[in-house]
Each structure stands twice: as C-alpha cells, then as structure tokens.
Structure 1
C-alpha cells in the first residue's frame, strides 16, 4: 500500500537557520564519531609497528574509493528523491529509493570481486617491503569482501536524509563507530581469549561495526521513514531513473574517486623519500577528518534542503541555506587551522610518532593546514552544484584541484626542493580551486537560482 505524504515537508516551511541545524547537527555529531573511530583505529594500529601504520595508510585510497562510489551514488539518489518530494511526486520518490538500493548492492558485488582479485597486486606496486605488503593485503581483503556494510549503510542513510530524518543516521553511525572502537583493541591485540589478529583485527572491527549500522539503518527506513515505500517484491530496475541518479552521482563518484588517485599518487611521491613520509600523510588524513567531517555532515543536511526548495522553486530559502552553510564551514575550518598550527607535536604523538616522524610531520601539518582557510567555502559550494543537478561542475573543480595542481606541483617540488616543500602543493591547489569555484557559482546563480519564481498564494508570496 502506498504511504501518504505529509501535507508539507519541513524542508519547505521551517525557518532556514533552525532547519539547517536540525538537519545537520545529528549528521555532524555522527561524522565526528566516525572521525573518532578512524583515529582510534590508526592509534591502535600504530601500537603494532610503523609498518602496520604505513600499510593502513596505503590502503586509504581503496577505502576512499568505496566511500566515493557509495556516497556519490547517494548524492544522485538524494537529489532526485528530494526533488520529487519537493514536487509532491511520491511515486517518483519511491522509485528513486528502490533503484538506489539496487545500485548499492551492485556496487558491493563489483568491489568484492576487485578486492579478491587485486589486493596483493595493489600493495606490491607501491612498496617492496614484505611486511607492509602482508599487512596491507590482509586489511584490504577484509574491507572489500565484506564491504556490503559500507555500501548499504550509506544508501539507507541517504534515504533517511532525503526525508529529513537525520537523527536516525546519527544513531546508526554512532552505534557502528562505538562497536568499532570497542572491538579494535580486542581483535587487534587478542583480548578475552581471542587470537591476536593485528591489522586484520582492525579491518574486522571496521566491517562488523558497518554491518550492525546497516541493519539498524534498514530497520529505521522500514519503520520510521513513512514518506517512502521500500517494498522491493515487485521491483524492476528502471534505466531512466538509474541514468538520472548517475547524471548527478557519477560526477560525484569520479570527483571523490579522484581523491583516491591523488592519495595514491602522493604516496608514490612520498615513498621516494621514505615510508615514514607516507605514514605522516596517512596520519594527516586521519587528523584532518576531525575538521572536515563536521563540514561533510553540514553538507548532508544542506543538500536535501537545497534540492527540495529548488523543486519547490523557493529561491530565497536556497540562498539563505547556502550563506549560512558557508559561514559555519569557514568558522569550523578556522578552528582547525589554529589547532594544527599550535599543536602539531601533540597531534602526532597520539600515533606514537618517532623522532623521525615528528621531524617530517610537524612542518607538514602546519603547511597543509593553511589550505583550511579556503577549503570550507570550496566544499560547500561544490555540494551546492550537486544539489542543483550540476555535478559536472563539482567534477571539474576536483579534477583541476587534485590532478592538475596537487600531483604535478608535488612532483615538481619533490624533485626541485625535496620533501619539505612537497606539502605546499595542497594549499596552492586550494587557492586555485576557490577561484574556479567562485566563477562557476556565479554562473549557477545567474542561470538556475535567479530565474526561479517564488510560489505565491492568492498573489501573496509564501513565507519560508
């Protein structure tokens, strides 16, 4: 039986500041918990040895690729679903949700096959150290073959997010992260009679947490997400809907996957100098997640608001949402900049950093964190492009930033100046990106936002 939609979704009527906070805060909290367990995971791994930490750092591009595929597809699902809800098209919203679930399962199957076939090769092309190769292969096999958790967790969370029920995402992500944190030392070091599994234990703890989270998220969608009907018994894939999802989602997938290419390339450059340099880069990504994850949580609340109000043709609500999101993001980034500038030693010592790692890592953190000044604005505006169906703009910015600037500049600086200057590639890339993003955003305002006609009732503008 079809579920009855509410008279008006809160995304079209609630005051924007309250709505953005209501939508984003649960996601920000859950993202911070995610960041915490990412760091805790590496802290425990670092206690094994530096080779183990390096192996997990080298596996980061694969983890990022899986998240890119799941989250990018989720962006497409989210934009289409929210737009249909804004247009009061419940049938279209249900179809978007069901096709999204189908795509999540297909993505998992593909990644599991890739993991089985290519894990060992992935590490042998990066390093000849047999210990790092062994640790890395064990880790990658587990996180790919059991990646059904990450793919379906993100898919189900996007369905809840699209209808404004982000509080349940906070619960599922938080629970999964806590389970991961609890299991990490037990499985890594072999507590309570269990065998010592080291890096494999860290991977196993991660996938168990994800599987618990996906079960909870499925339950919340079936029992609490009353605006959607997710009965799959008569489902048939719809080529048109899948194409529409990927029209927005593929640029996002590619955009986030480019991050994997960038990290892989940076690791290759850094390994010219030492495995410690690559470990420092991996540690940086763990630490910066505390700064970036809240902004990604903000994005997760912002995107459905903009997509919904674009479907409802509420121009003023779109612009108000964008302005407030940028202010919050820039504020968070400034706090992160201060922390990285003042406490780099303390941050690195969390990971049992050796004197060599401190010597490389302290200047690295201070230099890279200068990019935070511009990154907050860039992240928000790129997400606006996605919410309005212009994912190709997001892709262009990402390609320019990570492939045309970061890697070439890092390689050039490595050859000319040495390791100490490689890190400057990231702030330089962010400055280039903010220029390109601003030019594209002005075009979006002129062509897509300004032409919107505000809805009226009896000649009066509907307040929102």
Structure 2
C-alpha cells in the first residue's frame, strides 16, 4: 500500500523499503539461476553458453527499457512526496504512453536484429542457432517485461516495495515450473526456457494491473489525465532516456566483453555466463539499495526535506559498505562450490575460470556499493548528466579491458573490466554528489536543488550578511 518516505529515521525507512527489493532481486536472480541449471544440466554446456551469448544483446535493448521505466517513476515519486495526486496520475499516464510506444518498437524491430547482432558479436557458429532462437523469442515478449517493470516502478514510487516483490515471486516460481516442464518434460530446448519467461512475466503484469485497480486509487488514471501534454512527455523523457541510455552504455561495454569471450572459446563463454549468474545475486542486492535511495531522495525532494536527503544518503552509504564486505567474503570463500552447482562434474576448467571472476569482483564490491548509492541519490534529485557520464566511463573501462587487457592476458584481463568500471564511475560520482549536497544546503525549506551558478551567488550574499554589509530585515509585529 502507499507509504510516504518523508517521515521516520532515514536509515530505517530506506532499509525497510530496500528489503523487499533485495528479496525480489534475489528471487529474480535465483530463477535466472534455475534456468541456467536446467539448461546446463539437461541440454549441456553448449546450450548454456548459447543462452549466455545472448545476454549482452538482450541487455542492450531490454536494459534500456528497464532503465527508462525506472526514470519514468521518479516524477511520480516526487509528485507523491509533494502530496499532488493529480500530478501523480498525469505522471502515470505519461509513463504508460511512453512505455507502450517503446514496447511496440522493441517487439517489431528487435527480433529482426537478433541474428545479425549475434553474428556481429562473433558468436561461435556451434552456438548460433540456439542463441538466435532464445533472443528472438525474448524480444517478441519484450512488452511483458516492459510493462511489468513500469508497473512495479510506479508502485514503488508511492512507497510500496512489498507488493512488486509478491508478484515477482509468483512470476519466478511459475517460470521455474514452466522451464522444468518445457525443457526437461516437453523437450522444447532453449525455446522452452525463453517462452516460459515471457509467459510468467505476462502473469505478473496481470497481477499488477488488478492490484492497482482494486487497492491503489491514487494511481487510477482518469480520462482527462490521458491528455498528456508535450511538457509532461518531455519531463519523463528527460529522466527516462538518460537512465535507459546509461543501461545501454553499460550493455555496449558488455558487448565488447562478449566479443572477446567468443574469441576465447566456448569454455570462456560458459565460465563467464555462470559467474555472472552467481555474481548477479550480489550485484542485485547492492542495486536494490541504490534504487531505494533513489525513491527516498525523490519523495523527500518533493516533500521539501533536503535535511533528510543528506542524512539518508550518508546512512545508506554505511549500510552499503557493510553489505559489500559481507557479500564479497561469501563469494570469495564459496565461489567454486557454488559454480559446481551449475556445471556439474567434469568441467574443472570452467569452474576455475568462473571462480577467478568471483574473486576479482568480490574483493571490490565496496566500490560498486558506493556507486549505486551515489548514483541513485543523484537520479532521485532529477540529475541526469553525471549518472549518464558514469555510464560512459564504465563503457570506456569495459571496452578497454576487453580490447587491451583481454588481448594481453586473455580471460583474466577481461574479468578486470567490471572493477575498473566501478572505480572510474565512483571517481566522478563523489565530487558530483558533494556539489549536489552543497546546493541542497541552500534550499532547506523548499527542497528545490539550487543550480550551481545560483549556489555561488547565494553563498556570496550570505558571506556579506555575516560581515555586516547585508542587514537582515525583521518584519514588524
């Protein structure tokens, strides 16, 4: 149910909001892991590698859609924090229109790009048929993913992170059942795995729509709300496109990594695919905290509480660092044992390569945790330039690692792409958030972030006031 994030201890509010996101991401990663286990065990390592070979291409397009829908929810959260329910409805309508248009484009264009795209990535010939099948079916069902992400985002924007978790869990359990039945029972191969995912996401969309209709009147869009203005669409695109573009930039880096892996052979693809599945659990936990910070900041900005924003971000940073250290220790210590669950016996080289990935990433999760919190805070403030630039930095680091380090050191060089990308992004995020925090200090009542130029002017005025050159006027009784 709707819940304001503008009251209560910031760390507690963020944590309670983040816990369902954490659990939801774990559930989602577990069902993706279940897909990998079923495909790897039933169909073999080559089929697992074929599914893995589609990951970068799917992330390039579907990741853009996911990032964009999260951006559409930020104006919704700001309006809800301000108590403006009419603006909430207009925001939902604008986001729905843009999500529908994006879904239509993806459904028509993306399947046509699947085969050529996989060939451009130098996908090994023996993996190409199954990889193309999996990608085409996934793209044809893109609208279910798009609308589930959008509906989940606007429900979270009004402070309810528990309900999307429930629907996600139902979808994940259903997906596992369908995958086992389609792949192991009916012998549908990788096509069965892709169809199962699309069907289960379709069920989750229906559940979200029914919940909004019955329980969340603040999100009920009226007839007049559908007359969205150009200004509303531009505002949502100004936030949605950079967040989607940011995800796509990261995906382009992943494409460069995929090309290098394909050149290194099927074992490298299988090891990286499996390691990413396991690593995804840890990354999802930290990403959830970043998303919680984004919604917290957006609501408090709308509610005029910059003081809570400052305290909340600092406290979230502390939670992120502790969580990063724990997650890193678990994956460094238990990586090989976890990897064997996916690939079975007789694949020791794949296990060793995947465990090396987990070791390198796990030791530097602290940087990733800081990245998610600071980037989420800036996005909640409505800032788009710096978060997008961090995506560019991550792209440069990943491509550089794949092209330079991959050529020099092979698989081990490719693995260093992620940590280098995290470090590069944090170097930009720290001063950017510090500057945003200074501007927040100049707006203690309204919560409006003061532009940098105005910040300098106000600072000069305040200094003159302190020195006595500007006298404070006291209103008469």
Taking structure 2 as the reference length, what is the TM-score of the superposition? 0.88
Q: How far apart in 2 are the matches of 1:128 and 1:11?
A: 46
Q: Aligned to 1:125, which of 92, 95, 120?
A: 120
Cα distance change of structure 1 residues 371 and 17 upon mapping to structure 2, 3 Å threshold: closer
Q: How far apart in 1 are the matches of 2:402 and 2:382?
A: 32
Please say which of residues 266-275 and 380-389 is displaced more in the overlay. 266-275
Q: Paired residue for 1:460?
A: none
* Structure 2 residues without counterparts, runs of 5 or longer: 448-477
Q: CA deviation at 1:81?
A: 1.1
Map residues 329-348 of structure 1 onto 2, 5 A cutoff: 329-348=320-339
Q: Deviations over 1:41-72 (max 9, x none)?
A: 11111121222111111111233234433332
Q: CA deviation at 1:189?
A: 1.5
Q: Aligned to 1:280, which of 268, 271, 284?
A: 271
Q: Aligned to 1:246, which of 234, 237, 241?
A: 237
Q: How far apart in 2 are the matches of 1:82 and 1:196?
A: 45
Q: How far apart in 1 are the matches of 2:106 and 2:326?
A: 37
Map residues 216-231 of structure 1 onto 2, 5 A cutoff: 216-231=207-222
Q: Greater Rg, structure 1 or structure 2?
A: 2
Map residues 23-422 of structure 1 onto 2, 5 A cutoff: 23-47=17-41, 48-127=43-122, 129-190=124-185, 195-231=186-222, 235-352=226-343, 354-401=347-394, 403-422=395-414
Q: How far apart in 2 are the matches of 1:128 and 1:285?
A: 18
Do the aligned partners of 1:11 and 1:305 also contact (CA within 8 Å) in 2? yes
Cα distance change of structure 1 residues 63 and 409 upon mapping to structure 2, 3 Å threshold: closer
Do the aligned partners of 2:18 and 2:292 also contact (CA within 8 Å) in 1? yes
Cα distance change of structure 1 residues 233 and 348 upon mapping to structure 2, 3 Å threshold: same
Q: How far apart in 2 are the matches of 1:394 and 1:234?
A: 30
Q: Deviations over 1:133-156 (max 9, x none)?
A: 111111111111112211000111
Do the aligned partners of 2:111 and 2:137 also contact (CA within 8 Å) in 1? no
Secondary structure of the 1:271 match is: helix
Q: CA deviation at 1:410?
A: 2.9
Q: How far apart in 1 are the matches of 2:35 and 2:223?
A: 36
Secondary structure of the 2:382 match is: coil
Q: CA deviation at 1:376?
A: 0.3
* Structure 1 residues without counterparts, runs of 5 or longer: 1-5, 457-464
Q: Aligned to 1:11, which of 5, 8, 31?
A: 5
Secondary structure of the 2:263 match is: coil
Q: How far apart in 2 are the matches of 1:381 and 1:296?
A: 11
Q: CA deviation at 1:19?
A: 1.9
Do the aligned partners of 1:123 and 1:137 also contact (CA within 8 Å) in 2? yes
Q: Deviations over 1:337-359 (max 9, x none)?
A: 11221122112111115122123
Q: CA deviation at 1:75?
A: 2.7
Do the aligned partners of 2:324 and 2:369 also contact (CA within 8 Å) in 1? yes
Secondary structure of the 2:220 match is: coil
Q: Paired residue for 1:3?
A: none
Pair 1:443-2:438 in alignment: no
Q: How far apart in 1 are the matches of 2:93 and 2:154?
A: 10
Q: CA deviation at 1:233?
A: 7.8
Cα distance change of structure 1 residues 187 and 307 upon mapping to structure 2, 3 Å threshold: same
Q: CA deviation at 1:76?
A: 2.5
Q: Aligned to 1:433, which of 409, 420, 425?
A: 425
Q: CA deviation at 1:322?
A: 1.0
Cα distance change of structure 1 residues 245 and 325 upon mapping to structure 2, 3 Å threshold: same
Q: Paired residue for 2:450?
A: none
Q: How far apart in 2 are the matches of 1:419 and 1:24?
A: 35
Q: How far apart in 1 are the matches of 2:190 and 2:202?
A: 19
Q: CA deviation at 1:392?
A: 1.6
Q: How far apart in 2 are the matches of 1:423 and 1:129?
A: 20
Cα distance change of structure 1 residues 417 and 159 upon mapping to structure 2, 3 Å threshold: closer
Q: Deviations over 1:178-222 (max 9, x none)?
A: 1111111111122xxxx3111111111111110111110111112
Q: CA deviation at 1:244?
A: 0.5
Taking structure 1 as the reference length, what is the TM-score of the superposition? 0.90
Secondary structure of the 2:54 match is: helix
Please say which of residues 294-303 and 213-222 is displaced more in the overlay. 294-303
Q: How far apart in 1 are the matches of 2:291 and 2:238?
A: 19
Q: How far apart in 1 are the matches of 2:177 and 2:258?
A: 30
Q: How far apart in 2 are the matches of 1:283 and 1:171?
A: 27
Secondary structure of the 1:272 match is: helix
Q: Over the residues paired in the alignment, what is the CA RMSD in angstroms?
A: 2.1
